Amino acid sequence: MKKIDKGFILPSVALTLKRSQVKYYVPSDKPPEIGDIVYGRICLIGQHSSLENASGRIHMIHDDTKAIFVFGNRYAPDYYEGLIPEKMTEEVDLLARSGMIGTAKTKNSLIKDPTRVKILGYVCDKLGTVLNTRNFPLIKAKNTVKKQPRAKMILVCGTSMNSGKSMAAAACCWTLTSIGYNVRASKATGTASLKDILHMNDAGANPYADFTYLGYPSTYMLSKDELLSIFNQLDLKYANNPKNFWVVEFADGIIQRETRMLLESDEVRSRIHKLLFCASDAFGAIGGLNSLKNLGLIPDALSGVCSSSPLHIRELKEFTDIPVFNSAGPDRNSLSKILRDPGKFSRRK
């Protein structure tokens, strides 16, 4: 067991951990698990040249930068599919700027190879026990049973990553808070990154949290029970007041494994007050509407990157009468009417 020098970066993937808890590391051949914390150094700069810390600050990294890293799986069509290795290896890939590590299995050909991390050892307590982020949740719900009625859930999903979901979620937060409502915000799936929930906080939502607050570095490859546990814990923590709104984002696209499992769940579907669907272009939105229809879901509004273009909006109007709102410059009056409409499930089978 060795002492960790104080000059390390504590990235956002490990935000459940306090710096005072990071004191020792131990070399070990223990097979890594999701949430296992390691101490390492950058040994080759690739795609990611920075790390996001636990308060959202972006640190530039260099060869030999020392930091804390966390094992996790990543699903990101614009970047990597990365998995936790089956056995401990000397070097791993930096899968996300938040400090999540694993082994990249596939890569988008438009980006660089991943930054490499040399593992010095597992972070451990004074007894040599390996620390895991899942053992240090930042939030815990007081209730274990959902009391009715609950806060109205605005669910935002989309065609893929970077389709404009976070921008649409922030627009919902801004609209509702600006007319006097209390809004809580959550991101239930994805890869550790503070950017999205901080945008919702900037738009007025408070408090806010995502799966990392429960100790999960990501949600890719979790079981359905684990996904529902995350969703329900966030629900129990932030959606108890029926006078409030709870804005929730699901990462990636509706055909992605975890998003689809949640959309197929009655526990999630029963909580939807309004469903917003985002797409990068009109054709993607049209295809997404067909996929949602197969799930028995019809969104209450369309948004995302495509909503910034009058031409995309014109194309959409030829195929659907579902309202479109421009999330880059939302009209508060029209969006508030969509979100506050008491007609729950009015557009669902």
> For residues 306 and 340, what is the distance between their CA atoms, to the nearest angstrom?
23
Geometric angle at alpha carbon 273, from 241 and 310, rounded to 5°: 125
Contacts of 291 (CB under 8 A, 6+ apart): 254, 255
Residue 73 tokens read as 């799986």
Within-domain flag for 7? yes
Q: Are residues 13 and 162 in the same domain?
A: no
User: Which DSSP string corresponds to 114-182?
Assistant: PPEEEEEEEEE-TT-PBPBGGGS-S---S-SS--SS-PEEEEEEESSTTSSHHHHHHHHHHHHHHTT--
Q: Are residues 275 and 162 in the same domain?
A: yes
> For residues 295 and 292, what is the distance between their CA atoms, to the nearest angstrom?
5
Q: Are residues 87 and 226 in the same domain?
A: no
Residue-level pLDDT, tens digit, the chain, 349 residues: 999 998 999 999 999 999 999 999 999 999 999 999 999 999 999 999 999 999 999 999 999 999 999 999 999 999 999 999 999 999 999 999 999 999 999 999 999 999 999 999 999 999 999 999 999 999 999 989 999 999 999 999 999 999 999 999 999 999 999 999 999 999 999 999 999 999 999 999 999 999 999 999 999 999 999 999 999 999 999 999 999 999 999 999 999 999 999 999 999 999 999 999 999 999 999 999 999 999 999 999 999 999 999 999 999 999 999 999 999 999 999 999 999 988 654 444 4
Domain of 208 in residue numbering reads as 152-340
- Would you call 266 exposed, middle or buried from its count of C-beta atoms within 10 A (0-12, 13-18, 19+)? exposed
Pick the last residue of a domain from 77, 107, 135.
135
Work out how many domains the chain is built from and give that number.
Answer: 2
> For residues 208 and 229, what is the distance between their CA atoms, to the nearest angstrom?
17
Q: Are residues 215 and 246 in the same domain?
A: yes
Q: Are residues 178 and 119 in the same domain?
A: no
Within-domain flag for 123? yes
Q: Are residues 65 and 167 in the same domain?
A: no
Longest dimension (CA), the chain: 66
